[in-house]
Amino acid sequence: MTEKKVSILVVDDEESVRDSLYNWFIDDGYAVECAENAKQALTMLEARDFDIILADIKMPGMDGMEMHRRIKILKKEPIFIIMTAFASVDTAVQALKNGAYDYVTKPFDPDDLSHLIRNAASHVTLEAENKSLKDRITTLEDVDDLIGESEAMQQVLREVESVAQSNSSVIVTGESGTGKELIARAIHANSPRKYFPLISVHCGALSESLLESELFGHEKGAFTGATFNRKGRFEMADGGTIFLDEIGTISPKMQIELLRVLETRSFVRVGGNKEISSDFRVICATNRDLKSMVDNGTFREDLYYRLNVVNIRIPPLRERVEDIPLLINHFIRKYCKSMSRDLIAVEPAALKHLQELEYPGNVRELENMIERAIVIGNGKEIRLNDLPMGKEVMSSSIESLDDLERKHISSILDKYNWNISRASKALNVDRATLYNKIKKYDLKKGSR
Amino acid sequence: MERKKIILILCGHFEQSVIDRISADILNFFYFPLEVKECTLNLTSFYNPTRRQYDANLLINAVSELSSPDAIKTISLFRVDLFIPILTYVFGQSMLNGSTGIVSLYRLRNELYGLEQDNHLLIERFRKVIIHELGHAFGLIHCHNPVCIMRSSTYVEDLDQKEMDFCMKCRTELDKRLDINSI
């Protein structure tokens, strides 16, 4: 990205001053323009903005102070520096009272001028960074991808709104692909913790020891490969929110540890002995039925009640089919923008087909379909041919997502003759995740 | 067609050994052949009695008149105190992408700041300012690298911190500009 040059407008009736300052600032890499009087400067300011204005206080016609007053009427907020040949404390005080950034007396000491402009330029850069960060926060608050006018989705959004202001733990439940992480982001972005980090941890992707180190951090030398101290996710989330995805996959040992942290809001890094405190809010997500897991003893009841202060259930896409056209339009806008393409329409037959699908993968599946259709399509509209049909429709014998995952992993393992490296590469997961899945589904070579 | 050259105009007495060092620097950094000329200007007309200094803007215009058609750049050396209307003093002055630059030895002397005379340091500072101003004349702007010769210097101590060389970025930019200028 090219860095934007800081722009300077020099306003002085003396040509030699204008020329000298112009050359001085151009040498320093600023974008400089000059005006010979206040009237010309105000005309230039109506057409464009400047970051810094250096204006002589004594000019024929309108003086520098009056010019500054008029700039403020124009609702422009450049850094305004007054130049004068008369070292008068009164004038300096008056200029500063009127909101001038600083005041310099001609002739300037080269070093003073350099410092003054460097400070003003870094002020401009800081303001721009501040604005950009605020814009980013506002964008986050919008959480664009949360689309839905159906009653079911409106209910979810109302729940998000009411829970956001509190500090309670939240469990977000819903099938895979319904947007559980988006709900967590929306809660965080609308909460008083929004200026602090939202830290996400995908518990299902990590083995027990890795998850422990990830959540609590570790001290140098705690285990082989721990070559430096590392902050854990709870520590990083201080002041903000921690989002624990796939909470139903964590081991009994981790459930105990997590319960202790939630009760005390303090923990010790792996290999360490110092108690660390952190102020965080917990949002969890799962596609499993945690209550059943409690009933059959695989999930601790005390942890369940500690986490399940508020439960937000996201409906699967098949329960809110009226949102499908809205979602399609949203994803078309999103992907056409990211691919720098013109917006495209959807052929009626394709729209009908999209509304009739079952979507076991929910909104994520619909999103992937739209992205794929835009990539392979003709660039004008999404046609029926651009959508996955027949052979790609899910087998009706598969009932649950777990079934589907188990069968797919098993077939990939067979395909690569149980070579874990190649199979994990094909599945686009790391080896530890694949080992966990093999353990979870009790898969064995030749047992398909 | 005869190759363009850099003209060095001497306004005041400079030892031959100093001129030789400067000539070697110019050839080393800018590759153009050098021609040394004596200045014929009467400096009294550039003297500002109120400031008791010499007007660098007026001098730069006058020096450009002394140049010759085969000069790609002209740099003029002085021993007097230079100023421009808005600044209390300047070590040197040149126009970005312009044809002319001027540099003075006056403010580079240790004695001016109550320090012991150091001719070696003086000549080193002088050479740095000359190369810096020629850099501007070839289109280089100030560099943020603290040791690059194109870093802005408002005190002699700033000059001493810089190296007698361009940083990689300025060197690359200068080479591009020298290529264009030599066509």
All domains of chain A in start order, with CATH: 7-137 (3.40.50.2300), 154-313 (3.40.50.300), 318-392 (1.10.8.60), 401-441 (1.10.10)
Interchain proximity A114–B154, CB inside 8 Å = yes
Which one has a higher pLDDT value, B91 or A231? B91
Predicted local confidence at residue B165, as pLDDT:
95
Q: Suggest the residue from B86, B104, B173 to mutate for an interface test with chain A (most A CBs closer than 10 A).
A: B86
Predicted local confidence at residue A104, as pLDDT:
84
Q: Check: pTM over 0.95? Answer yes or no.
A: no
* Chain centroid, CA A371 distance in Å: 21
Predicted local confidence at residue A261, as pLDDT:
92
Interchain proximity B89–A110, CB inside 8 Å = yes
Min Cα separation B89/chain A (Å): 7
Cα–Cα dist A184/A193, whole Å: 12
Residue type, A253: K
CA-nearest residue to B90 within chain A is A110
Distances in Å between the Cα of A162 and the Cα atoms of A156, A316, B44 are: 10, 22, 82
CA-nearest residue to A23 within chain B is B95
Q: What is the mean pLDDT of residues B40-56?
A: 91
Point out the residues of chain A with pLDDT beneath 50: 1-2, 139, 390-397
Q: Please, what is the average pLDDT of chain B?
A: 91
- Whether the bond into A388 is cis, omega within 30 of 0: no
Min Cα separation B17/chain A (Å): 31
Cα–Cα dist A335/A377, whole Å: 13
Interchain proximity A109–B142, CB inside 8 Å = no
The partner residues of A53 in beta bridges, in order of sequence, read A9, A80
Q: What is the mean pLDDT of residues B151-168?
A: 92
Instruction: Assess contact for A85 and A14: CB atoms under 8 A.
Output: no
Residue type, A95: A
B147 contacts chain A (CB < 8 A): no
Min Cα separation B22/chain A (Å): 23
Interchain proximity A29–B85, CB inside 8 Å = no
Cα–Cα dist A65/A69, whole Å: 6
Cα–Cα dist B50/A175, whole Å: 85
Residues in contact with B165: Cβ distance below 8 Å, sequence separation at least 6, in sequence order: B148, B149, B171
- For residue B2, pLDDT over 70 is answered with no
Cα–Cα dist A421/A426, whole Å: 9
pLDDT band per the 50, 70, 90 thresholds, residue B183? very low
Instruction: Assess contact for B73 and B5: CB atoms under 8 A.
Output: no
Instruction: Assess contact for A255 and A299: CB atoms under 8 A.
Output: yes
A3 contacts chain B (CB < 8 A): no
Q: What is the mean pLDDT of residues B64-84?
A: 91
Q: What is the mean pLDDT of residues B106-119?
A: 93
Cα–Cα dist A178/A362, whole Å: 5
Nearest to A441, CA basis, from A200, A240, A230, A249: A249
Which one has a higher pLDDT value, B183 or B13? B13
The pairing of strands A79-84 and A198-202 is unpaired
Predicted local confidence at residue A393, as pLDDT:
44
Residues in contact with A395: Cβ distance below 8 Å, sequence separation at least 6, in sequence order: none
With contacts defined as CB-CB under 8 Å, which chain A residues touch B88?
107-110
Residues in contact with B171: Cβ distance below 8 Å, sequence separation at least 6, in sequence order: B165
Residue in B85, B96, B154 nearest the CB of A20: B85
Interchain proximity B86–A20, CB inside 8 Å = yes
Cβ neighbours, 10 Å, residue B30: 21
Predicted local confidence at residue A69, as pLDDT:
87
Q: What angle do CA A431, A436, A437 make, to 5 degrees?
A: 100
Instruction: Assess contact for A307 and A299: CB atoms under 8 A.
Output: no
CA-nearest residue to B152 within chain A is A28
Residues in contact with A126: Cβ distance below 8 Å, sequence separation at least 6, in sequence order: none
Active site residue ranges of B: 133
Task: Write down the residue that tokens 């002397």 correspond to.
Answer: B109
Predicted local confidence at residue A394, as pLDDT:
43
Predicted local confidence at residue A34, as pLDDT:
94
CATH classification of B5-182 is 3.40.390.10, yes or no?
A: yes
pLDDT band per the 50, 70, 90 thresholds, residue B116? very high
Interchain proximity B85–A111, CB inside 8 Å = no
With contacts defined as CB-CB under 8 Å, which chain A residues touch B51?
107
Q: pLDDT digit string (tens) for A209-234?
A: 889 988 999 888 777 777 778 888 99
The pairing of strands A217-218 and A230-231 is antiparallel
* Burial of A237: CB neighbours in 10 Å, binned 0-12, 13-18, 19+: buried
Q: pLDDT digit string (tens) for A147-205?
A: 888 898 889 988 998 898 889 999 999 988 898 988 998 899 888 888 888 999 999 88
Nearest to A117, CA basis, from A7, A3, A2, A4: A7
Cα–Cα dist A310/A187, whole Å: 12
Nearest to B10, CA basis, from B51, B43, B38: B38
Q: Which long-range contacts (CB under 8 A, 24 or more apart) does B61-66 make?
A: B63/B9, B63/B39, B63/B100, B63/B102, B64/B99, B64/B100, B66/B9, B66/B37, B66/B39, B66/B40, B66/B41
Q: What angle do CA A334, A339, A340 make, to 5 degrees?
A: 95
A17 contacts chain B (CB < 8 A): yes
